[in-house]
Structure 1
Amino acid sequence: MTTQTILPVNAEALKALSASKQEPAWLTESRLESLELAGQLELPKLEKQRIEKWAINSYGQFKEGASLASLDDLPEHVAKLVAGSREGGLVIQRNSGAVHASLSPELAAKGVIFTDLQTAVREHADLVKPYLHQAVKRDEHSMAALHAALWNGGVFLYVPKNVEVDAPLQAIFLVDDAEATFAPHVLVVAEANSQVTYVDNYVSDSLSAPITHNGAVEVFVKNGAKVRYATVHQLAEGATDVTFRRAVIDNDASIEWIVGEMNDGDTASDTMSILKGNGSTSDAKVIAVGSGSQKINYTTQAKHFGKSSASQMITRAVMREEAQAIINGITKIEKGATKADGQQTERVLMLSPKARGDANPILLIDEDDVTAGHAASVGQVNQEQIHYLMSRGISRRVAESLIIYGFLAPVVSEIPLEGLRDQLQGLVERKLGQ
């Protein structure tokens, strides 16, 4: 059965919007072609879940945000997130457009580009055009096509050959208007032997109406380059968050994903590493806490094409109240990817009899000379551990907290910014009602 996609804009309105933003002709054409595709393709297929039953059609309208006169004008909870990033590089999007973009003169002098993608398509088209929509393909499904038609704001990060960026570069994606289209696109290109850490936060205030975030991330890691990508999503209950992340990794290059899924609304994400090059590596760590009646579907994938490529995937999810989580890990080793090594672990901890968790480890191996393994578990808090801690004078509430934090520690401890780690710890405590 084919599900009809409801298009939130027609071709004429989209063409007019593109013209009003002074976008190049190639981008306008790309948007229009993508909109046509969106009306023809089916919705993405989620494992054991029907996304068509979710609130995925609340796109609103494009609303240009006013540039910030000063970072001091940011809401207090957002200002705390950027306190340590004012000297390196910082991009802030509010609703449909960027309101701030800055980069240190030292990094700019080295050829680093860090700005909103909307600006980059005008000023750096020669660097953007070859990569845009090449990792998250427009024809994957209707939501990918619709994102390609409607994306706004976003981030473009370009690191030249042999340049190492020591301090993390940060972006904030803030939505506080439920009537505004919110669809940032992140594009990262790390040239050969470069190194960079990028961190972003998706944040919302309480929303007056439902909103759909349809986001995409594309990362291209060239020969010998290293990219660390950390992201935390903390959108309010009224937001449905659907995000597709893809990284293409060349010879002897590496990607490290650190993903904190702390939304209060229904959430689906698909994070894939395409290990194209020989000796390429991918390390993905995902932490999630579900509460209320949330429905959560997380997929982490590694596709091995290169010889001696290696992937590691670790997902930790804690579900409370009536939250439901489906956690998928997919390791695919293609024919010819000899000496590849793919490992994955998915673990779900349930804190309530009504909470549900489903861990699905999948290995697809088309080559004999490889190493691959998986582990998965779904269960309640270990009562023996609680009783042991209580016998040492610790209250039940504190004992449960210690076990939960120990369960999540393999991911939390890897967050590259101390402020972000503290923020994530606070989000875990909030979602656990502590």
Structure 2
Amino acid sequence: MKKQANTCLPNSTTEPTWFKAYRQQALQASATLARPVFERIDYHRWPLALQQFDQAASSLEHTAVSSDLYQDNTFVWTNKHTQWCQLAQKWQAQGVIMCDWHTALTKYADLIQKYYGKTVKWDENQLTAQHAAWMQGGLFIYVPRNVQVTEPLVSYLIQDARTTADFVPHVLIVAAENSSLTYLENLQTIGSKEATANIIVEVVARPGSHVSFASSDRLGQNTTAYLNRRATVERDARIDWSMGMMNDGNTVGDFDSDLVGNGAHTEVKIVAMTSAKQVQGIDSRVTNKAPNTIGHILQHGVILGKSQLIFNGIGHILHGAKGADAQQESRVLMLSKQGRGDANPILLIDDNDVTAGHAASVGRIDEEQMYYLMSRGLSKELAERLVIRGFLGPVLNKIPDKHTLTTLEKVCEQKLIEGQKNA
């Protein structure tokens, strides 16, 4: 059933006046803006309209979340509730900030006003406007100039699907000049009711900074999700994206890197898996806006059951971005004859003296390889898992952070085993 958008903003007496006005502008625009269009991703009938802002389960308190998550440098958030937020004292002493949205608006309003909504603007489309209007909270991370955070900062954004409440977190990460950090984001679902998620992540990489962003995405089967992650990458800065799209419900992934400064660099690595009857559409874009910028996209996906997986890889070199490099590779492996896969490479080049290239493929599992493995005594399920590990290996093996690699390997294995059971 198609949901109708809510027309009443949440009542918050603690938000600054400028933030309330921002929400109101977004609310008014959301009624007339259209949803974004992504090549070959047909999602416009999905129930993505936000309407149940205030229905978060009041009973989801600390007892519903494992205390094993309560560690240093960790943030745990469920719908509108911050369950845990603790940053090691040594990083606090160097001026690093990791806090929930309420604290950020109270203590660091100047930083929020400077950076919030600048990378992903509320008026881009209907989904970004609805997010800005009904955003429930989330996480703010700030690393000061010349500070190198050598331990991962970890978040658990946990959707409470024991009710049909919308799930609308916002993450804002700012790495100041010549700073660095590694951030690992875990998206999870508790419960199984039908619900909508609208999640936006903004990353600002100031000159000379380095951000390693990793995600383990495991939203539930009955969650329909719009997931937008975008970075603004300034002069000589770099962001490495390592994302595991292992959601069980219908999902649109909208991932962008805007290379706005000379020498900016991004590496986008995505592994994805679909199962049962779900659809995942992943739109990965790098825009080279400045000279000598580098943007590489590497995404591999696996299809189980009657599911669909669509990869769009978009490299756009703007006029004036001389010396830029845009490369991409999208590959899809189908384990089922009933599934559907698409790998759609798009290169847009508006200047000379640049380098660009792409590779794309969609194919079925090699039956001879399967026969060989099974003839050695392996079960069909185990043989499939070995083939899939080999297929995803070129992406996983290029992830430099061992903690991130281990996390993504585990979530891939878990999704694969569950998908085989439901095939």
TM-score category of the 2 structures, normalised to the smaller one: over 0.9
Return the alpha-carbon distance in structure 1 between the equivalents of residues 375 and 168 of structure 2. Answer: 51
Kept in 1, the 8 Å contact 2:236–2:261? The answer is yes
**Offset, 1:95:** 1.7
Return the alpha-carbon distance in structure 1 between the equivalents of residues 373 and 345 of structure 2. Answer: 32
User: For 1:357-396, what aligned pairs fall within 5 Å after superposition?
Assistant: 357-396=341-380
Partner of residue 245, structure 1: 229
**Offset, 1:393:** 4.7
Kept in 1, the 8 Å contact 2:30–2:126? The answer is yes
Partner of residue 416, structure 2: 429
Bigger CA drift: 382-391 or 322-331? 382-391
Kept in 1, the 8 Å contact 2:4–2:51? The answer is no
Partner of residue 139, structure 2: 155
Return the alpha-carbon distance in structure 1 between the equivalents of residues 61 and 385 of structure 2. Answer: 42
Partner of residue 6, structure 1: 4
Kept in 1, the 8 Å contact 2:3–2:47? The answer is no
Kept in 1, the 8 Å contact 2:264–2:293? The answer is yes
Partner of residue 22, structure 2: 30
Matched length: 416
Q: Which digits, 9 at most, give the CA deviation of each residue in 1:236-284, with x for residues without a partner? A: 1110110111101011110011111111110001110001111110001
**Offset, 1:215:** 1.0
The SS at the match of 1:154 is strand
Partner of residue 48, structure 1: 40
Kept in 1, the 8 Å contact 2:56–2:163? The answer is no
Return the alpha-carbon distance in structure 1 between the equivalents of residues 49 and 61 of structure 2. Answer: 33
Q: Counterpart of 2:265 in structure 1: which amino acid?
A: T
Partner of residue 417, structure 1: 403
Return the alpha-carbon distance in structure 2 between the equivalents of residues 277 and 172 of structure 1. Answer: 31
- 1:206 paired residue among 162, 183, 191: 191
Does residue 1:301 correspond to 2:285, yes or no? Answer: yes
The SS at the match of 1:385 is helix
Does residue 1:75 correspond to 2:73, yes or no? Answer: no
User: For 1:82-101, what aligned pairs fall within 5 Å after superposition?
Assistant: 82=69, 86-87=71-72, 89-101=73-85
User: For 1:77-226, what aligned pairs fall within 5 Å after superposition?
Assistant: 82=69, 86-87=71-72, 89-176=73-160, 177-208=162-193, 210-226=194-210
**Offset, 1:8:** 1.6
**Offset, 1:64:** 6.6
Kept in 2, the 8 Å contact 1:68–1:100? The answer is no
**Offset, 1:433:** 2.2
Kept in 1, the 8 Å contact 2:197–2:225? The answer is yes
Question: Identity, % of aligned pairs?
Answer: 36
Return the alpha-carbon distance in structure 2 between the equivalents of residues 362 and 226 of structure 1. Answer: 27
The SS at the match of 1:358 is strand
What TM-score do the two structures reach when normalised by structure 2? Answer: 0.93
The SS at the match of 2:115 is coil
Return the alpha-carbon distance in structure 1 between the equivalents of residues 164 and 302 of structure 2. Answer: 31
Q: Counterpart of 1:313 in structure 2: which amino acid?
A: I
**Offset, 1:68:** 9.6
Q: Counterpart of 1:286 in structure 2: which amino acid?
A: I
Would the alpha carbon gap of residues 122 and 138 (structure 1) be closer, same or farther in structure 2, given more than 3 Å must change? same
Return the alpha-carbon distance in structure 2 between the equivalents of residues 115 and 65 of structure 1. Answer: 22
Report the aligned-residue RMSD.
2.2
Q: Which digits, 9 at most, give the CA deviation of each residue in 1:208-260, with x for residues without a partner? A: 3x111011111000111000111121111110110111101011110011111
The SS at the match of 1:60 is coil
- 2:219 paired residue among 235, 256, 273: 235
Would the alpha carbon gap of residues 66 and 190 (structure 1) be closer, same or farther in structure 2, given more than 3 Å must change? farther
Would the alpha carbon gap of residues 338 and 125 (structure 1) be closer, same or farther in structure 2, given more than 3 Å must change? same
Bigger CA drift: 290-299 or 423-432? 423-432
Q: Counterpart of 1:389 in structure 2: which amino acid?
A: L
What TM-score do the two structures reach when normalised by structure 1? Answer: 0.91
Would the alpha carbon gap of residues 392 and 170 (structure 1) be closer, same or farther in structure 2, given more than 3 Å must change? same
**Offset, 1:181:** 3.0
User: For 1:388-407, what aligned pairs fall within 5 Å after superposition?
Assistant: 388-407=372-391
Kept in 2, the 8 Å contact 1:160–1:191? The answer is yes
Q: Which digits, 9 at most, give the CA deviation of each residue in 1:147-175, with x for residues without a partner? A: 01111121100000000000100111111
Return the alpha-carbon distance in structure 1 between the equivalents of residues 355 and 170 of structure 2. Answer: 35
Q: Counterpart of 1:417 in structure 2: which amino acid?
A: H
